[in-house]
Amino acid sequence: MSQDLPRLESLIGYQLKHLQSLLRARMEEVLRPLELSTPQYACLELLRRSPGASNSELARGAFVTRQAMNTLLRGLQERGLVTRPSTVDTGRARPTTLTPEGEQLLDEAVAAVAGIEERLVSGLDEDAQRGFAEAIESCIEALQD
């Protein structure tokens, strides 16, 4: 029997979860005054980069289900932050777009969140940051499919 258990803090998966938990908490702190949740913020960011994205595309980009993104989008729509045509000429996908209000709120959110990502990597020099990003990329690749 191998009774030598590695310390929990040395397990990559555990530390990854720890870091994600902290990052989420910090983001929610600064987004709360704007009445935005982390997934909502992610959705707005996705929309600025991909105007006219469909519900399913946004769901994939935010790593949630279509159903979750659907309810999330309704909330943003009721607040006038995004718009979706009620009917569409072809297909089922309804392209979503940021409204001016949505863009403005996103700008505020970006400003609020900027400091966090900066703080996140504040202990790493430029080389280490690049190595970190490459390592994450490699892990994503390895777990795909």
Residue ranges binding DNA (CB under 7 A): 37, 39, 54-57, 63-68, 70-72, 75, 90-94
Tokens of 98: 């940021």
CA gyration radius, the chain? 19
Assign 3-state DSSP to the chain and report helix, strand, coil percentages, each to 5: 70, 5, 30
Instruction: Output 15 or 21, the one with its CB closest to DNA.
Output: 21
H/E element holding 133? Answer: helix 126-143
Q: Which of 4, 8, 87, 91 binds a second copy (CB under 8 A)?
A: 8
Instruction: Output 6 or 91, the one with its CB closest to DNA.
Output: 91
Q: Residue 88, interface with a second copy (CB under 8 A)? A: no
Question: Looking only at residues 49 through 78 of this chain, which bind a second copy when binding is defined by CB under 8 A?
Answer: 49, 61, 63
Residue 11 contact among DNA, a second copy, none, beta carbon within 5 to 8 Å by kind: a second copy
Q: Which of 46, 31, 50, 54 is nearest to 105 (CA)?
A: 31
Q: Which of 65, 90, 94 is nearest to 82 (CA)?
A: 94
d(CA 65, CA 57): 10
In the complex, least distance from residue 104 CB atom to DNA, rounded to whole angstroms = 21
Residues binding a second copy (CB under 8 A) = 5, 8-23, 26-27, 42, 45-46, 48-49, 61, 63, 116-117, 119-124, 128-129, 131-133, 135-144
